[in-house]
């Protein structure tokens, strides 16, 4: 016996939270009957999503993408904008893990492993995400200290961050920023809270998994050791 959301996630439908939304929307049936949240799947049950049968657990696939600017991090877009899925060429249905803004580039993981996707995105796990940011003007020691202690974003103080200045002149500051929260536009809003505008933003690492030399728009499969590392985070 397996909880329905876990069964769906392990079958590659999406993260547990995405599966819960599908169940709540009435899109999931067990043996022809609309399933409820918390339902249990037993051996031999016929499970469907939007009337398409969900079979045995798929082989898990894990990809790293260097997302360029100008793409949104979603499977499809009703407004006709380009999505990251246009850059992925595999014969398996994958889902982006978390989000990167339209004008943000960098490391994005795509997988059909709903359990891992949920682990990497759940706030309680506090997984570090590292970005390279170029901001307008000079970041003063006081402003840097404020960012590291936490600033107010949308009325709520951010968790402590790590900020390392890589290079700066009178016009720009290039720095490395590490956070473990995932609020909407968080890095940009953090800098805005200290009066700075982010001109360029790129995610370069999730935990110790780094983007490395992967070119913009390119993908590569994660190694077994990289997958095991992510599962242990």
pLDDT of residue 17: 86
Average pLDDT over residues 32-53: 90
Average pLDDT over residues 4-31: 88
Whether 218 is catalytic: no
Catalytic residue among 25, 43, 77, 101: 101
pLDDT of residue 124: 87
pLDDT tens-digit map of 80-94: 899 999 999 887 889
pLDDT of residue 230: 95
Q: What is the pTM of this model?
A: 0.77
Between β-strands 198-206 and 105-111, what pairing exists: parallel, antiparallel or unpaired?
parallel
pLDDT over 90 at 15, yes or no: no
Average pLDDT value for the chain: 92
Do residues 22 and 28 make contact, with C-beta atoms less than 8 angstroms apart? yes
Do residues 90 and 220 make contact, with C-beta atoms less than 8 angstroms apart? no
Counting beta carbons within 10 angstroms of the beta carbon of residue 129, is it exposed (0 to 12), middle (13 to 18) or buried (19 or more)? buried
Confidence of residue 52 (pLDDT cuts 50, 70, 90): confident
pLDDT of residue 24: 94
Do residues 131 and 228 make contact, with C-beta atoms less than 8 angstroms apart? no
pLDDT of residue 104: 97
Which residues have CB under 8 Å from 185's CB, separation 6+? 101
Percentage of residues in the chain having pLDDT higher than 70? 98
Do residues 172 and 157 make contact, with C-beta atoms less than 8 angstroms apart? no
In order of start, what are the domains of the chain with their CATH numbers? 2-53 (3.10.290.10), 62-123+209-232 (3.30.70.580), 128-206 (3.30.70.1560)
pLDDT of residue 177: 98
Which residues have CB under 8 Å from 158's CB, separation 6+? 150, 151, 152, 179, 181, 183, 186, 190
Q: Which range (36-40, 50-54, 65-69, 209-213) has the least confidence?
A: 50-54
Q: What is the DSSP letter of 222?
A: P
Which residues have CB under 8 Å from 186's CB, separation 6+? 153, 158, 179
pLDDT of residue 1: 78
Average pLDDT over residues 53-77: 87
Average pLDDT over residues 194-218: 97
Q: What is the DSSP letter of 170?
A: S
| Separation between Cα atoms, residue 81 and residue 227, nearest integer Å | 30
- How many of the other CB atoms lie within 10 Å of CB of 74? 14
pLDDT of residue 146: 97
pLDDT tens-digit map of 114-166: 889 988 988 888 999 999 999 999 999 999 999 999 999 999 999 999 999 99
* Three-state secondary-structure class, residue 221: strand
Cα separations (Å) of 133 from 77, 137, 204, 207? 27, 12, 10, 17
Counting beta carbons within 10 angstroms of the beta carbon of residue 28, is it exposed (0 to 12), middle (13 to 18) or buried (19 or more)? buried
């Amino acid at each position: 016996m397996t909880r329905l959301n876990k069964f769906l996630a392990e079958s590659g439908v999406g993260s547990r939270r995405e599966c819960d939304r599908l169940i709540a929307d009435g899109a999931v049936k067990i043996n022809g009957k609309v399933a409820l949240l918390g339902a249990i799947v037993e051996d031999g049950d016929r499970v469907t999503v939007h009337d398409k049968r969900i079979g045995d657990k798929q082989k898990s696939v894990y990809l790293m993408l260097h997302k360029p600017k100008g793409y949104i991090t979603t499977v499809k877009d009703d407004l006709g904008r380009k999505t990251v899925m246009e850059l992925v060429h595999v014969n398996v249905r994958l889902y982006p893990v978390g989000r990167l803004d339209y004008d943000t580039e960098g490391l994005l993981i795509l997988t059909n492993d709903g359990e891992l996707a949920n682990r990497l995105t759940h706030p309680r796990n506090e997984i570090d995400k590292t970005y390279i940011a170029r901001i307008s003007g000079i970041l003063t020691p006081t402003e840097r200290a404020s960012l590291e202690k936490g600033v107010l974003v949308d009325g709520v103080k951010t968790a402590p961050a790590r900020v390392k200045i890589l290079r700066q002149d009178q016009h720009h500051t290039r720095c490395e920023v590490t956070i473990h929260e995932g609020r909407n536009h968080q890095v940009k809003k953090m800098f805005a809270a200290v009066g700075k505008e982010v001109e360029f933003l790129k995610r370069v690492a999730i935990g110790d998994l780094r983007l490395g030399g992967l070119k913009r728009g390119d993908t590569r499969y994660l190694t077994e050791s990289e997958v095991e590392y992510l599962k242990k985070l």
